[in-house]
Structures are given as C-alpha cells and as structure tokens.
Structure 1
Amino acid sequence: MTREEFNAFCASFAASSHVVQWGNADVWKAGGKVFAICGWADGKDAFTFKTGDIAFEVLQERPGVRPAPYLASRGMKWLQHFKDPGLSDAELKEQISLSYNLVTAGLSKHKRTDLGIPEPQLGGTHGGDPGS
C-alpha cells in the first residue's frame, strides 16, 4: 500500500479527519481519536494501527510487523507494518478498519450519532471501501 492509497482509504471512513504531525506523519482520527498513522521507518512508509489483544500477540510475530514504537511501549495495543513482507494490502485494510471500529466504539453513542459514525462493527470492514 502506498501512502496515497492509505490516505484515500482512511478518508473513506465516516467522520474521519486528517492532520499532519509528529515529523510529517499522516495521522487519521475519528471523533478526535487517532485510528491510523503513516510515518516513516528506515526511510520507508510505515503504517500504524490499533488492534485487539489477540491480533496484537499474533500479528507482531510476522516479519515486517512490530509493536508500534512509542504507543506499544506505553502498554497500548498498537502495531506497525514497517517493512516487507508484513501484511498484504487487504490485511492492512482489514486492520485499519478494525482500528477505526475499536476507536469509535470508545466514543459515546451520542458523539457517534452527532458525527454520523455508524455503530461499530468489530468484525472487520467498514463498508465504505468499494474494494472490500
């Protein structure tokens, strides 16, 4: 996945917003909460996302995936796809979708309603991506 594809995918989520911060990283938020980040690792794009407990344990064992620097060291369940082979584009999209759903599930129902965010679907895709 390229940075442009990452940004287009993240933009397809309801009430998503984009800021550039932390050393020119593309940071995507929903309801003011971060759900995905694209920054750099060793001069290459690195994609960071929140995950559940089991996925955190399983996926970090894959070559090219690691606990996210800074976030995971503070006890948060965030992973980073930082080099090949890592995750396929489809797997990365699935994990970003799950991250969005985990983050928006933590928002109040009132806030989700005000922002037009659908009820969280913690099983995976968000339905806004024509390629899913």
Structure 2
Amino acid sequence: MIVTDDDLTQRAGFEAFVLGLPSVVVVRQWRDDSVAKVGGKIFTLLDADPGEIWLKVSEMAFELLTELDGIRPAPYFARAGWVAIAPDSPLTPEEIAAYIVEAHRLVASKLSRRLRTELGLDGSIAAAPHRP
C-alpha cells in the first residue's frame, strides 16, 4: 500500500488506514482524537492538532525513535512504551504505516486467546509469549 504524507496525518486517511487492519474500531475520545482500538485496547491515535500520531512500539524502537527529531515519548502513555510522531519527523509515510501495523500486532498479541479467537485474530497475530 502506498501512503502519502497527508493520508496518515489527516483524520480521513488515518482512520481509513487503521480500519483496514483486522478487528479495528475507531472512536473519538478526549479532545476529539481519532483513537484506534483492537479488542478494546488502544494501539494508536491521531492527535489531529498538531497532526501527531501516537502509537505503541517495542522497547528497542522506543529507545531508537525518541532519539530522532520530531519524535518524543507520548505524554501520559510513555511509561507503556508509546511515542508521539510529529508531521515533520524524518520517518516516511511508509515507515509510519509499518509502525502502526506493528503497534496493532503488539497490542493484539497481548489480548487473551479467547478474545483473539472471537475477533478472528488467532491466525493473523502472533500470540504473546507465555509468562508463568
């Protein structure tokens, strides 16, 4: 999928992209942000003003991304491994789209096996490692 700058930083493009992922629901929350959820859990959001995309990333990605200009720990969400990507960040639209897909996978993989099955995600999302 080819993604342009305006696609992801504008509400219509962002919502269309995330709704193309399995079992996603978009709601408007807080200051009218577009919030994407899978299984009731948030994996990304668009803060339409200033056009930042907030999303869940791996620990390694968090460390690497927050070193770049235009990417910062997401307010209120940083302790859970979230970043806020500004429109002027050095990431390409395709890279941002890939991080959104990965955020979906990270969050979906933490859902219970039962919920993943109900949502039809078991075949498309790797399960989280079992921790005793």
Alignment TM-score, normalising by the size of structure 1? 0.83
For 1:38 and 1:56, the matched residues in 2 are separated by 18
Counting matched residue pairs gives 118
SS of aligned partner of 1:63: coil
Q: Which residue of 2 aligns with 1:103?
A: 107
Contact 2:9 2:53 in 1 (8 A): no
| Structure 1 alignment gaps of length 5 or more | 123-132
- String of CA shifts for 1:16-57, please: whole Å, max 9, x gaps: 0011011010000000000110014xx421100000010000
Write the letter of the residue equivalent to 2:73.
P
Identity %: 33
1:46 aligns with one of 52, 56, 80: 52
- String of CA shifts for 1:104-126, please: whole Å, max 9, x gaps: 0001122111111244259xxxx
Alignment TM-score, normalising by the size of structure 2? 0.83
The root-mean-square deviation of aligned C-alpha atoms, in Å, is 1.5
Matches within 5 A, 1:24-63: 24-40=32-48, 43-63=49-69
Write the letter of the residue equivalent to 2:37.
K
| Structure 2 alignment gaps of length 5 or more | 1-7, 128-132
